[in-house]
Amino acid sequence: MRKGLQNLEDNENQNYKIIAVDDEEGIVDSLSIFLRRSGYNFVGITDPLEAIERVKNEHFDLMILDFIMTPIHGDQVVEEIRKFNKDLYILLLTGHKDLAPPLETIRRLDIQGYCEKSDKFDQLLLLIESGIKSIAQMNQIKKINIELSDTYEKLEQAYLESIQTLRYTVEAKDTYTRGHSDRVSEFSVLIGKYLNLPEPDLDTLRIGGLFHDIGKIGVPDSILQKEAKLTDDEYSQIKQHPNIGVHILSHAKIFQNILPIVEHHHERFDGNGYPGRLSGENIPYLARITAVADSFDAMSSKRSYRDSLPLDVIKDEFIKNKGTQFDPDITDVFLDILNNHFDEIQEIQEKYTGIEDEDF
C-alpha cells in the first residue's frame, strides 16, 4: 500500500519539470540524484547564461537557483528571465543568510523563496513541495480560464468555486482555523461600515477576508498543525503564505482588487511586519483593516495551545499596540465597536459557532 502511494506520488511529480542552476557541478549532481529519487523531471545546468536560454526555449515549472555564481549572479539571472517569463516559480539557494539578496530585490523579481545550502535537502524539499502545490493550483486556474474564457459569468463563478474549495482545503488542515476566514471577512466589513467606506471597498474587504490565508495551501501540514513553538525555519515558511497566496490568485482578474489584502495583512504599522516591512500609510488601507479583524479573531478564538482571551485583555492589546502593530485611527474605530456595538460582533461569532466541528 505504502509503496503504491509512493509510486503514485512519483508519477505525479514527473508532470513537473525542475531546472537547477549552480556553477558548482557537485551541487548540481547531488540535486539531480535527490530530486530524481523523489520522482521529479530534472535538468541541472552549471552555466547561468545557458540556463537563461534553456528557460527561454523550453518549459520549466520551477527553478532552483544559486545566488553567488559566475559569470553572473542569481539575481541577474532572474532579472533576465522575468523579461520574458513571469510565471516561473523560483527558489534561491544561498551559501549563508548574510549572502542573500535584499528583501526588496526578492520581492521585485518575484522570487518565491530561498534557503541556505546544506548537505541535507530536507528544507529544500519542503519548499519544492510547497512550490509544486502552488504551481498545481495556478495551472488549474489557468486551465479554467482557457476553458471558460468565452463566458465571463461562468468564468467568474468557476474561479470563485475553485478558490473557495482551496480555502476549505486550507481550513481543513487545521481544526482551529475553520471559520476563521469567514469571521475575518465579516469583521472587516463591519469595521469598513463604521469607517463609512463605499460599497465597492466593502465588497473587496468581504472577498479579501475570505481568501486572505489562501497561501497556507503551500505550507506543510506539519507546520500548520504544530502545537509546540515553531523553529526559525518553520516560521520563515509560515511567513511565505502571503506571497504564495498572491501567486495563486494573481492570474484571475476578478481577484486583482484583493491582492493587496492577501499580500499585506501581516504588515505592522511600525514597519516590523511581513512580507514587505511596509509602514504607516504605505500599507494598503484595506489591508490595515483586515489586519485588525484578523488579529481580533486570533485573540478571541480558542487555539490548541490556549483558550480564547477575555474581552478586556483583547481591548488592552489593541490599546497597547495602537500605532505600533495597528493603524491608530482604525484601532480607535474598532475599540468603539467593541465598547458600544459588541452585539454586532457577537452576531458574527454566533453565526459561525460550531463550524470548527464541521467536515470539509
In a domain, 129, yes or no: yes
Regarding whether 212 and 282 lie in a shared domain, the answer is: yes
Q: Is the pTM of this model over 0.85?
A: no
Active-site amino acid positions = 216
Does some domain include residue 146?
no
- Say if residue 345 is in the same domain as residue 212: yes
Per the domain annotation, does 278 fall within a domain? Answer: yes
Q: What is the pLDDT of residue 185?
A: 94
**Does the structure show a pLDDT above 80 at 100?**
no
Distance CA(153)–CA(159), nearest Å, equals 10
Asked whether residue 191 is domain-assigned, the answer is: yes
Dump pLDDT digits (tens) for 298-319.
999 877 667 889 999 999 999 9
Residue 140 lies in a domain: no
275 and 223 within one domain: yes
Together in a domain, 191 and 114: no
135, 170, 200 - which closes a domain: 135
Asked, for residue 147, whether it belongs to a domain, the answer is: no
User: Higher-confidence residue: 125 or 242?
Assistant: 242
DSSP characters over 2-48: HHHHHHHHHHHHTTSEEEEE-S-HHHHHHHHHHHHHTT-EEEEES-H
131 and 240 share one domain: no
Q: Distance between terminal CA atoms of the chain?
A: 25
Supply angle C-alpha 111, 114, 116, rounded to 5.
Answer: 155
Do 51 and 168 lie in one domain? The reply is no
The CATH number given to whatever domain includes residue 9 is 3.40.50.2300
Can you give the pLDDT at residue 2? 44
Residues 172, 85 within the same domain:
no
Q: What angle, 0 to 180 degrees and rounded to 10, lies between the N-to-C axes of helices 199-211 and 180-194?
A: 160
pLDDT for the residue 99: 66
Q: Is residue 144 part of a domain?
A: no
* Residue 106 confidence class, pLDDT cut points 50, 70, 90: confident
Q: Is the peptide bond before 198 cis (omega within 30 degrees of 0)?
A: no
Is 125 or 61 the better-scoring residue by pLDDT? Answer: 61
Domain end call among 89, 107, 135 = 135
Residues 168 and 122 in one domain: no
- What pLDDT is recorded for position 138? 85
Do 170 and 122 lie in one domain? The reply is no
Q: Which domain holds residue 168?
A: 152-357
Q: Do 65 and 94 belong together in one domain?
A: yes
For residue 210, tell me if it sits in a domain.
Answer: yes
- Flag whether pLDDT at 176 surpasses 80: no
Alpha-carbon gap, residue 68 to 98, rounded angstroms: 12
pLDDT at 113 (0 to 100): 84
87 and 174 share one domain: no
Here the CATH number for the domain that contains residue 168 is 1.10.3210.10
Residues 162 and 79 in one domain: no
- How many structural domains is the chain composed of? 2
Question: Does a cis peptide bond (omega within 30 degrees of 0) precede residue 275?
Answer: yes
Model pLDDT, residue 159 = 66
Contact predicate 99/76, CB 8 Å = no
